[in-house]
Amino acid sequence: MEVMPYQVYHLIDVNPKKGVYYMNIIKGYTSHILREEFPELKRKLPTLWTHSKFISSVGAVTLDVVKKYIEEQKGVRS
């Protein structure tokens, strides 16, 4: 996982057919935990995460290539 000011990258090994399901679980869980720890988020933001997500299979490239891409994103603001 890599956390940046405007995005979070998760590199997980999961069945591609279940990727969206697992991302929804992760987003829901982290939203719950963060709002519990920081109650002011409940008042300031109607929703913590957007509904958007990007999920991609990386079978055509190596794990090192994906890690390098994520590392390079640290200097890029989305």
Contact, 34 vs 40, CB < 8 A?
no
For the entire predicted model, the pTM comes to: 0.64
Determine the distance from the C-alpha atom of residue 37 to the mean position of all C-alpha atoms in its chain, rounded to a whole number: 19
Superfamily of domain 2-75: Transposase IS200-like (3.30.70.1290)
Show the tokens assigned to 8.
């979070």
The residue to which tokens 């697992």 are assigned? 22
Show the tokens assigned to 6.
């405007």
Position 73 confidence tier, pLDDT thresholds 50, 70, 90: confident
Show the tokens assigned to 57.
């299979």
What confidence tens digit (pLDDT) does each residue in 19-64 have? 889 889 988 999 999 999 999 988 888 888 888 877 777 777 788 8
